[in-house]
Structure 1
Amino acid sequence: MCGIAGWYRRQGRPVEQADITRACDTIIHRGPDDSGVHIDRDFGFGMRRLSIIDLEGGHQPIFSEDGRWAITYNGEIYNHPELRAELDAWGWKFRTNSDTETLLAAYVRWGDDAWSKLEGMYGVAIWDAKERRLTLARDPLGIKPLYYSLQQGGIAWGSEIRTIRTIPGHEFSIRARGVHDFFMFGHIGKPRTIWNEVQSLEPGHVLHIGAEGEPEIRRFWHPRFEARHDLSEAQWIEATREEFMATVKRHMLADVTVGAFLSGGVDSSAVVAAMASHASAPIKAFTMGFPGTSIDETDAAARIAKHLGCEHIILPLEPQDAGMMLPQVQASHDEPCAATAAVPVWHLSKLAAEHVKVVLCGEGSDEIFAGYKRQRTALAAARSAPYLRALAPLIAGLERIPFGSKRLNYLRQNARRFRMSAMLDSNFQRFFQGTQISTPWVREELYQRGFYERQETEKPFAALEAEYFGWPGARDMHPLDQFMLADLTVHMPSSLLNRTDRGSMAHSLEARVPFLSHKFVDWSLTMPREMKLHGKTGKYALRKAIEPWLFEGAIDNRKLGFQLPFAEWFSGGFSSFAQEAWNGSGASQAGYLDNQAVEKLFAEHGAGLANHGRILYAIAMFSIWWDQNIDAR
């Protein structure tokens, strides 16, 4: 696990070692154990290393025996022992025991065909000194980040945007569409970033660029929903148990102690239970608690940890503590981040890093096994669409009636959202509606008029569907598959995996996600839909598969997720942190949001007339980001 950075200046213009060292030093948190830099005239790259495998011999960059090829990479390849045996037989003379050298050998042997053979997470840079050709690649699900910028005839790249911003002569301007993305979803829609001049290499893509010309980018993996019907229910459940046990075992590969995050829900409980069956010592399990709130899961997690014989460590998080750490959490991101779990992941990672270097997490299960409530709601909306279209005028009239009761007001808002969802044309559009943190009518009031008119469209969800899923055949997919595909390819890399990577790596902690091995994902997408969503029960096969590992009723609780209790906290003292962040920030004068509208949101939420917790949190984090990146500069 590392952080990487580089600059291919091209045109014979020299790259100085100091330029690469400076870029790498901005991500020392990703790799405090070691560093390395390689300069080849107008090319240079480097890394910061967190030693996990081959602690002594895994120094990067690693070179081929003839010196032609060199690699720096961030990630882990879990099937590298098997690949290593094949490459050894081919004739590669290994000089280390690291997965980095295995990856380099695989690329030299197979070229771009190597990517489909790897099981792991990675952002990788490979330099061909003979052809003067750079290759950048990112793992299929986007677990590890990789950004690049094309400026001054060259290309700069890095695991985090901050590495690129150190490159001499490069300029950066705020992308207005990125600001709109953020206040709509709480993150910037990839491959865009908050900067006009920077974009992310998309998951499952490889980029090649030589001494002349534009980069060539192509996709080497994409999810395929191809359900099989050759197994019985019992066979699917047993196959789920076996496949999951195997992927967890591979993800435990390390020369250091591996722990786990445990929330008490299905996903993390499944991971810890599978780990316990493979481990020779008690698993160190880490849990975040929210004392006195409706989403506190510490009791459930404690019971599961005790049942599995874990060494269980609980970290409570109070509103005043969360408010104080908001600047640190935002500083761990290059872009404004309002992910619901950004604060707890950052805080829990800080605790875990005091005990282990690696943790396994449960991210990805909801996306591949239909575990989200919003997926079920979208299906219900799709089925209700014909009836609601007929009743639309009556419902719209009822929605305009002002309710004095807080409960009735919430019901009116939820009814309005459901009606709008039913009126949409596909579950791709319902996905975008279901993952937004602000509604179109809130944004119409919140945005300053000019910004609103430039960014908002009459049919925003249809526009987003066309942007991300406009390819032939997308509309022919089953509605559940549409929603799952959107979750897996849009929300996962843009938000969920981003906050997991940044929150953990801020404390030099490697977070692994066994549900998101692309080989396990490929297998899961062959499962029939009824084995995922069984009536109203999501993740049906997974639940049944892990039942024998846990006690009765262990995973019957409603899904709470790894998040902050926004509604409760913003009704109390946490609100003052957010308001102070906004009022004291240059963001309030930046021309994006209307100050009076912002104050109205705080007032409505404080009075209990609406739940604006998500958008208020986003306003606070944007304000902090602005001060750290714009005003400070």
Structure 2
Amino acid sequence: MCGITGLVNFEDSVLLHNMCNVLKHRGPDADGFFQNKNASLGIRRLSIIDVDGGNQPISNEDGKIWTVFNGEIYNYKSLQEDLKSKGHKFQTNSDTETIVHAYEEYDLDFVNHLRGMFAIAIWDEKKNRTILIRDRLGVKPLYYHIQNNKLLFASELKALLEYDEINLTINHNAISDYLTYLNIPAPETVFNEIKKLRPAEMLIFNLDGNFYTKKYWSVKFQKNNLDEKVRMVSDVPVGILLSGGLDSSVVATIAAKKSNNRLNTYTVGFENKIDNAYDELKESKEMAEILGTNHHEIVVNSNDTFKILDKVTLCLDEPFGNPTTTLNYIISEFASKTSKVVLSGVGGDEMFGGYPKYRALQIFQEYRKFPKSLVKNFGRIFEKIPDNTSEHVVKGKTFFKAWKKNPEDQYFSLISYFDEKDKEKLLNFKTSLSSRRFIDDLFLESKKSNAKSFFEKLFFVESTSYLPNNILEYTDKTSMAVSLEVREPLLDHKIAEFAANIPFSLKIKNGSTKNILKIAMKDELPRNVLNRKKRGFTPPLINWLNNSISDLEARYFSEKRIKEEGFFDYEYIEKISKDYKNGKTSNYVKIWSIICLQSWFDVFMKKYNFTI
């Protein structure tokens, strides 16, 4: 796992080294550079495979093709043998060198021979072009800037900000998108001048300045074997992020069976008894005892998370409203003390139908002929009940609000936090594009992958939007900030193709989510793990906000600050905050998302030269 960067069509050694230094946290073990007048590549390396011999950049035999990459190629050994049989000469035993020879052999189609997670940059002197590639599911990020026939790229956006000639301007449409999704979907970023590759996308940039992007993969429908796909290719110790839930327990169980060593497992819990409903310390400890792992626990409180918000904001590069980001940073930092690589159960919900929103959408389909008048009446009843009566009341309000005629409208309602009317009240600027454009485009695109039913289309949309733009984005940034590689075995692309082919009725059956995964693991996992109610890896944010709302308001929502910035409408913020304190707890996500956006302004405006 590494941080990569590069320049094309100009040479600037100082800039290249500065960009690499910004990425040092991603690769503290070594750095490496290739430079000529047309292209320069840089890397910070976290040594995992071929620790002594796998330094980058690396070239083919005649030095005409060079590459740097971030990630791991899990099938590199078999691919290496195949390439050797075709006459290629290898100087190392690293997965990186496999990339350059595979490209030499198969040209742009080489990526279809790779299995793993990766962000790759290749400089091809023979064809005078640079190729940037992001892995199929979007595990590893890659940002780029193109201006005046020049290309700059990096694993993190902040590295590109070392280039003084980028005249940064805030992308107002992206801010609006953030308020809808709590993240900024690719290819957009918070700055108009910088883009990021989408999952399974490659960018081909020619020295004449012409460039284009193309998608090289989408989910296919074919059978596969789940057990074979837990990837543990590593020359350093491997650990597991263990919540005690189904997905991480599946990964931990299979990994423990395949490992000859006693594995480390890591769990985060919460200090206050009032937060026990979110705490999985007991469950994860029980699972660790069953597997015989070296189990490590860390306990946190609201102060632990709020005090590192700005630090985590810097790690994330862009505004990010998912409240799990600080938790992920804490558990990653904790795990990095004893492991360089950890496995995670991320992706299980998207692959096998684990989220409550999926069950809601299934209910909408099953009861689509239910009288709309009754739906509206139930919705009105829930609206009259105060939010703070019960968490179920808030969920009920969300459910009935989303019960619309069109399934795509239902889905968009369930995943939206600020609707367009809310944003018009909050923002002191107009946007030119609707945030729904991403979802509408993906539903249309899903048809190209032969998705026919709504739930097949939904699988495509979720695996190309929510998963990479939200879950995988913060997982990469918060773990690599502390030099920890996180691997997601359930997101091997062959598993994605397998999961796409499972009828949705087998994923959620009789109200039981991830039903097919539970059946597959019924002889491997205890019954209480299989039947455990989903909690999700999330902090007790409402409880924490209740304890700290006054301090947070003073820092982020003061009338003086809001009016000086001129970005938000102070009266609207004052209203949602007042309503929250008066019992409308459903406002907590809106409040948190604005806090995170204000934190981003604080961190990046102090460090870089741009204005709101």
Superposed pair shares fold, TM > 0.5? yes
The 8 Å contact of residues 263 and 294 in structure 2, kept in 1 or not, is answered as: yes
Residue equivalent to 2:234: 254
Structure-1 separation of matches of 2:379 and 2:433: 22
Structure-2 separation of matches of 1:124 and 1:23: 17
Structure-1 separation of matches of 2:259 and 2:242: 16
CA 1:284–1:414 in structure 2 vs 1: closer, same or farther (change >3 Å)?
A: closer
Q: 2:64 aligns with which of 63, 68, 87?
A: 68
Residue equivalent to 2:399: 418
What are the Cα deviations for residues 535-572 of structure 1, in whole angstroms up to 9, with x where unaligned? Answer: 21121121122232233312322111111211221122
CA 1:101–1:383 in structure 2 vs 1: closer, same or farther (change >3 Å)?
A: same
Letter in 2 for 1:433: S
Residue equivalent to 1:185: 181
Deviation of the 1:433 alpha carbon:
2.0
The 8 Å contact of residues 160 and 334 in structure 1, kept in 2 or not, is answered as: yes
Residue equivalent to 1:53: 49
Residue equivalent to 1:160: 156
Residue equivalent to 2:300: 317
What are the Cα deviations for residues 506-541 of structure 1, in whole angstroms up to 9, with x where unaligned? Answer: 000000001111122112222233332222112112
Residue equivalent to 1:236: none
Percent identical? 28
Higher alpha-carbon deviation: 82-91 or 532-541: 532-541
Structure-2 separation of matches of 1:409 and 1:96: 56
Structure-2 separation of matches of 1:151 and 1:391: 56
CA 1:212–1:508 in structure 2 vs 1: closer, same or farther (change >3 Å)?
A: same
Residue equivalent to 1:553: 528
Unmatched 5+ stretches in structure 2: none
Query: Secondary structure in 2 aligned to 1:567?
Result: helix
Structure-2 separation of matches of 1:545 and 1:517: 17
Residue equivalent to 2:35: 39
Letter in 1 for 2:98: T
Query: Secondary structure in 2 aligned to 1:470?
Result: helix
What are the Cα deviations for residues 148-182 of structure 1, in whole angstroms up to 9, with x where unaligned? Answer: 11112211111011111112412211100111111
Q: 2:207 aligns with which of 198, 208, 211?
A: 211
Residue equivalent to 1:288: 268
Q: 1:454 aligns with which of 394, 412, 431?
A: 431
What are the Cα deviations for residues 306-334 of structure 1, in whole angstroms up to 9, with x where unaligned? Answer: 11101110111101111111111111111
The 8 Å contact of residues 323 and 574 in structure 1, kept in 2 or not, is answered as: no
Structure-2 separation of matches of 1:466 and 1:404: 34
Structure-2 separation of matches of 1:409 and 1:625: 29
What are the Cα deviations for residues 471-490 of structure 1, in whole angstroms up to 9, with x where unaligned? Answer: 48489732222322221110
Residue equivalent to 1:470: 444
Structure-2 separation of matches of 1:383 and 1:589: 51
Deviation of the 1:188 alpha carbon:
0.6
Residue equivalent to 2:3: 3
Residue equivalent to 2:317: 334
Residue equivalent to 1:84: 80
The 8 Å contact of residues 183 and 321 in structure 2, kept in 1 or not, is answered as: yes
**In the alignment, structure 1 residue 26 sits paired with structure 2 residue 22:** yes
**In the alignment, structure 1 residue 620 sits paired with structure 2 residue 595:** yes
Q: 1:495 aligns with which of 439, 461, 470?
A: 470
Structure-2 separation of matches of 1:211 and 1:49: 27
Structure-1 separation of matches of 2:92 and 2:154: 25
What are the Cα deviations for residues 611-633 of structure 1, in whole angstroms up to 9, with x where unaligned? Answer: 22222221111111101112443
Structure-2 separation of matches of 1:352 and 1:392: 47
Higher alpha-carbon deviation: 205-214 or 300-309: 205-214
The 8 Å contact of residues 75 and 121 in structure 1, kept in 2 or not, is answered as: yes
CA RMSD in angstroms comes to 2.4
Residue equivalent to 1:232: none
Letter in 1 for 2:431: R
What are the Cα deviations for residues 457-505 of structure 1, in whole angstroms up to 9, with x where unaligned? Answer: 6xx65x4443332348489732222322221110011110000000100
Residue equivalent to 1:176: 172
Aligned length: 604
CA 1:493–1:404 in structure 2 vs 1: closer, same or farther (change >3 Å)?
A: closer
Structure-1 separation of matches of 2:418 and 2:169: 25
Q: 1:382 aligns with which of 340, 351, 365?
A: 365
Deviation of the 1:203 alpha carbon:
0.9
Deviation of the 1:430 alpha carbon:
2.9
CA 1:578–1:42 in structure 2 vs 1: closer, same or farther (change >3 Å)?
A: farther
CA 1:318–1:56 in structure 2 vs 1: closer, same or farther (change >3 Å)?
A: same
**In the alignment, structure 1 residue 605 sits paired with structure 2 residue 580:** yes
Structure-1 separation of matches of 2:100 and 2:255: 29
User: Which TM-score applies when normalising by structure 2?
Assistant: 0.93
Structure-1 separation of matches of 2:343 and 2:578: 40
Letter in 1 for 2:92: T
Q: 1:244 aligns with which of 221, 226, 231?
A: 226
CA 1:392–1:588 in structure 2 vs 1: closer, same or farther (change >3 Å)?
A: farther
Structure-2 separation of matches of 1:156 and 1:581: 34
Residue equivalent to 1:486: 461
Deviation of the 1:33 alpha carbon:
0.5
**In the alignment, structure 1 residue 373 sits paired with structure 2 residue 348:** no
Deviation of the 1:202 alpha carbon:
1.1
Letter in 2 for 1:454: T
What are the Cα deviations for residues 215-237 of structure 1, in whole angstroms up to 9, with x where unaligned? Answer: 1211110113x477xxxxxxxxx
Query: Secondary structure in 1 aligned to 2:31?
Result: strand
Q: 2:117 aligns with which of 89, 112, 121?
A: 121
The 8 Å contact of residues 409 and 609 in structure 1, kept in 2 or not, is answered as: no
Residue equivalent to 1:305: 288
CA 1:584–1:364 in structure 2 vs 1: closer, same or farther (change >3 Å)?
A: farther
Unmatched 5+ stretches in structure 1: 229-238
Residue equivalent to 1:518: 493
